[in-house]
Chain A
Amino acid sequence: GAVVSQHPSRVICKSGTSVKIECRSLDFQATTMFWYRQFPKQSLMLMATSNEGSKATYEQGVEKDKFLINHASLTLSTLTVTSAHPEDSSFYICSARKGSGEQFFGPGTRLTVL
């Protein structure tokens, strides 16, 4: 299967700082990547859809100015959590979609905001 990586796997930051999470498709090109957020014992909730070369589409209730998404190439999308607060602490997961439509998931990034 295809491989999707995320970096970092775990990050701890102070309140008010910004954190960037990278999502890379290692062996295929992905015109579309998705960013999900997972709370403990909860489902994965779609945050935004990231299309290469265009603006991301955000789900209702997700602040686009807080969660900045950039999809600069066919193998890289980044999520930047700006001015992070403790309530932003969560598990962030990306997925990349192949041309066939199948999605491949990254291993996730655990963000803890102190």
Chain B
Amino acid sequence: GNSVTQMEGPVTLSEEAFLTINCTYTATGYPSLFWYVQYPGEGLQLLLKATKADDKGSNKGFEATYRKETTSFHLEKGSVQVSDSAVYFCALRGSQGNLIFGKGTKLSVKP
């Protein structure tokens, strides 16, 4: 079945450091891929998405490229800020329209 695997956290970085959160998936076909972010005390928010192979999603300085060869959708940001501290979830869209999530990666950015 479909599944998403993402790197376990927590990840602790200093401000302005480079961020990579790995995400790989197992799926039939080429589902749409997503990164969601959950800030403390808030609901999940869509950060970025990619709907087909080689697409690059980007938002707020974050990027992720849909790589079908490696079945990956790694999240990157060149220079993180304290305000980026949150839990990040990689997800794919299932056949029923639901989302299948990874376990989440907690990011803490220190000033």
Contact assessment for B98 and A49 in the assembled complex, using a CB-CB cutoff below 8 Å: yes
Query: 16 A-B contacts, Cβ less than 8 Å apart?
Result: A1-B46, A32-B97, A34-B98, A41-B103, A43-B101, A43-B103, A44-B44, A44-B99, A46-B94, A46-B99, A46-B100, A95-B44, A95-B99, A97-B97, A107-B42, A107-B43
Counting chain A residues whose Cβ lies within 8 A of the other chain, the interface size class is 20 to 34
Q: Flag whether B83 is at the interface (Cβ < 8 A).
A: no
Q: Flag whether A27 is at the interface (Cβ < 8 A).
A: no
Give the chain B neighbours of A56 by CB distance below 8 A. none
**A-contacting residues, B1-51, CB 8 Å:** 4, 36, 41-46
In the assembled complex, the CB of B9 is this many whole angstroms from the nearest CB of chain A, namely: 9
Residues of chain A at the chain B interface (Cβ within 8 Å): 1, 4, 6, 32, 34, 41-44, 46, 49, 57, 93, 95, 97, 101-103, 105-108
Q: Count of chain B residues with Cβ under 8 Å from any Cβ of A? A: 19
Q: Which of A43, A106, A107 contacts B89 (CB 8 A)?
A: A43
**A-contacting residues, B43-101, CB 8 Å:** 43-46, 89, 94, 96-101
Whole-angstrom CA separation of A108 from B104 in the bound complex: 16
Known contacts A43-B89, A44-B89; A106 and B43 CB within 8 A of each other: yes
In the assembled complex, the CB of A44 is this many whole angstroms from the nearest CB of chain B, namely: 5
- Chain A residue nearest to B106 (CB atoms) is A41
Whole-angstrom CA separation of A95 from B43 in the bound complex: 9
Give the chain B neighbours of A93 by CB distance below 8 A. 43-44
Contact assessment for B97 and A101 in the assembled complex, using a CB-CB cutoff below 8 Å: yes
Contact assessment for A49 and B42 in the assembled complex, using a CB-CB cutoff below 8 Å: no
Give the chain A neighbours of B36 by CB distance below 8 A. 105
Give the chain B neighbours of A4 by CB distance below 8 A. 43
A1, A103, A108 pick with most chain B CB within 10 angstroms:
A103
Whole-angstrom CA separation of A105 from B45 in the bound complex: 7
In the assembled complex, the CB of A9 is this many whole angstroms from the nearest CB of chain B, namely: 9
